[in-house]
Structure 1
């Protein structure tokens, strides 16, 4: 391990090894002896301001909402917006579609703005700007989506994704790590490699930000750099990495996907020392990392052995989000024996206790339009379902909703189905008309304490990682109608789950002309596409009062 922590640096040009740190950051002093420092938050103060959570990309919401017993329903859905990661900030969702970049109102999914001229994904929000990555890094004005600036890399190998933190935009382009000024895109500093002339190591991974540091991976292993100057804080040897798309960081640990392996090396975020080995599609917070291989899904302590559990879901995968004390993951089948009777949780959104792995609840595609998790913000889970972006929220109290039959009611509101406006109890009819869900949806999905095996059966195996490798991008799968459709993915995107659900299933759509409730659905319009000036919300699912209408959420048989 190498450390360089005894330098007082300014924004002036610095030569570090064979890398170059060039100025533009101003004259503020940075004491690298104090870094990494877990008290230096990269911000902003949002649950999911970047494409994989916060700028650390570890898919971790520290104080995340504890969702109630799987009682989720679709609040809204936007066609074609679920194929890539999203960011959520100030009650606005930023997403990409085949037609460009859009900003959506988080309350109802209506379009705030759309830019059809930008082909990019992986949004990150900071200040008044949203940053996206395509062939170049593009900075968009958050108020109207107009382009503020665009990088000029002309990369041969593409840009994996950008990280926005500490006033800068960080990305690896053709083996070189760049730090750009967030305000105007000018180069703050760049590093072409680290090491010596006889032992140079280029950068092979994207970037992550935490603890007042920028983390990346070279062909030698992980590295931590000071954001303003590029001064090296530590670097160490780790898993061989000729190419890897993903790196994750929290105040506790840094992890990255090893090339050609389902293993994830975990290193201490402050020192770089190796602390543990995780498994494919990892997510982790301050205490626990979770992930899965061919032979199970497991959780373990990052340091020590206080927590250790496994879930028997062979050949079933999904990249989780740790929200508060719960692990939320959408499991899908990938390989293994065909349709075994013992397969649990295939195509189900499952909530696990992060400390022991016990199942809190499970929700299948037959019950709701669930899919791979794109974001968790506030009391909403955003998922990909058949290529669409769906906002899932806990069921509302439908007793407060007006009864359509009361529109012409002139008898003083004494019908049996009337809302109880005056506090009187008129429910003595002997019938329970509450449209509430089952008290325990997990009962139908095999959720029980028996999943807490604690056997540690987390052998990684050699199966395909549907989230952590570029091999998943563009994979063809059969949709429900037997057609071949192509999965969608971003630029070398480790977080783009292609869990057999990224196909747009035309068979699941119901023509708006046939939807008798279409006129009553907020934001629902027919005709024009998402970026044509009108919003094509496919449906706004409300379980109460829709029993007799066509349910466009149900998957085709």
Structure 2
């Protein structure tokens, strides 16, 4: 099996930069190809998913146009899993979660895993891969570990690995239009999605200044795709390229913005947001490249078709793409969290990094804000639930990172209420809570009752999940006896055999799964741990 060797991911910084450029604020955009951009050209039309790629979709905008509207009072823990593999590049988090076809793809310190979205049970694991930011298209999961690596969705085995010779920095990759786009050491590559071969590459791009001078410079941002083009930024400007040929569709001079380090691009049908150094980011028209707005934001960014959002040292707010209908701000500062647009709501996790000079007590809270005016819909505190930075929203589930674990938060359904009230733990009720996936969970009732009474950290079994070969993952006493032996000698993606995972009463749980009564018990256990941690050890 191929291997993506462990390496440090370096910021582009001085290696790729010519420094901060303070030029004329006049900006020029040029339209080279009248047929592009085209909003009808969907990057991955076969993927009808909310969050099939890191940051949502190929536009990486953290935007779900018709997303679910959550009720914070009804959110409960469905399951959790250890996730200590998140990577930071400077101040930026590398997002490590994608959800497609009821499967969650994420990373841990050990490698890449695939989980059943219903109950969190392990489907497969590849411990030979040190990569992040999964993007799912077709039957393949594409990740970035310096080189781009493609895994088979069914078992996690490696399909191909790029040979670009990355030495310093690889920007976040984008899978769209049957290609994988990535900036590696200052060069923009378009790779064939089926085998990783190079379709085209651009070592530099030419940007015309407002005075008509041409500047040739290397790439310093990640990529994003929408409207039949791929968006990327150089030291001197932001550009859109034809996805098939790499020809420039439009380009926009940097103006007075700081283009001196590698960051990301956010794109929707209507707008493109360039994440650059400094507190102001340019917002462009996705079709023409025209400068639309100045977004004051150092963190917490997200982009929809109507507005961009983010926070800096002066507050947190929204900036309209057109007009001012979505302009608003709230008086809360030194708060950081990557927002998500879902439907009519902005969801963001706030935590104070330094002193909060604002008037709102949003420290360590998951907050739902009206996207039109910023008014508060609801808040959920870390004291009341395991909330944290949002890693994904898919369907009726919010995935958050909390104390190095990935938690799936869902609204409790009527079926789950009935199951918890009756307390009989029957298989049918458990299966109803898991969207009708009927499986044989013989013995779960007895195990659940014993665990609830003892609270001694015995193994928490995965309810109702069967392997492809028909073997039940939880049933027999023999399975329980061998539950903690997770390493049976198989490597990488072959470790998808039946297993259970320990939950220590004083430690963070490993894989903790269940819905209905299981989620209720998990929530109670989390609250119990919180109350214990409030008392100092003697």
- What range is the shorter-chain TM-score in? 0.7 to 0.9
Tell me, yes or no, if structure 1 residue 256 matches structure 2 residue 283. Answer: no
Post-superposition shift, 1:311? 1.4
Post-superposition shift, 1:374? 0.3
Q: Secondary structure at the match of 1:554?
A: helix
Post-superposition shift, 1:149? 0.5
Contact 1:105 1:111 in 2 (8 A): yes
Alignment of 1:142-291 (within 5 A): 142-195=153-206, 199-238=215-254, 239-259=257-277, 261-278=278-295, 279-280=297-298, 281-291=300-310
Post-superposition shift, 1:336? 2.2
Post-superposition shift, 1:85? 2.4
Pick one of 119, 122, 136 that aligns with 1:125: 136
Pick one of 2, 22, 30 that aligns with 1:3: 30
Contact 1:221 1:240 in 2 (8 A): no
Q: Counterpart of 2:388?
A: 371
Q: Secondary structure at the match of 1:119?
A: coil
CA distance in 1, matches of 2:265, 2:112: 24
The Cα RMSD (Å) is 2.8
CA distance in 2, matches of 1:86, 1:103: 10
Quickly say closer, same or farther: Cα 1:207–1:527, change in 2 above 3 A.
same
CA distance in 2, matches of 1:58, 1:97: 24
Post-superposition shift, 1:538? 4.6
- Cα deviation, 1:286-336, whole Å, max 9, x if unaligned, reads 112111111211112111112221112122221100000000000011112
Alignment of 1:7-86 (within 5 A): 32-43=33-44, 44-80=47-83, 83=86, 84-86=95-97
In the alignment, structure 1 segments of 5+ residues that lack a partner are: 6-31, 409-509
Q: Counterpart of 1:447?
A: none
Contact 1:539 1:553 in 2 (8 A): no
Contact 1:82 1:383 in 2 (8 A): no
Contact 1:314 1:343 in 2 (8 A): no
Post-superposition shift, 1:545? 6.6
Contact 1:82 1:385 in 2 (8 A): no
Q: TM-score, normalised by structure 2?
A: 0.74
In the alignment, structure 2 segments of 5+ residues that lack a partner are: 1-27, 87-94, 208-212, 427-451, 466-473, 475-479, 502-509
CA distance in 1, matches of 2:163, 2:72: 49
Bigger helix share: 2
Quickly say closer, same or farther: Cα 1:33–1:545, change in 2 above 3 A.
closer
CA distance in 2, matches of 1:405, 1:258: 53
Alignment of 1:536-547 (within 5 A): 536=501, 537-540=510-513, 542=518, 544=520
Q: Counterpart of 2:460?
A: 518
CA distance in 2, matches of 1:547, 1:251: 40
Q: Counterpart of 1:527?
A: 484
Quickly say closer, same or farther: Cα 1:3–1:373, change in 2 above 3 A.
same
Tell me, yes or no, if structure 1 residue 352 matches structure 2 residue 376. Answer: no
Quickly say closer, same or farther: Cα 1:400–1:98, change in 2 above 3 A.
same
Quickly say closer, same or farther: Cα 1:141–1:307, change in 2 above 3 A.
same
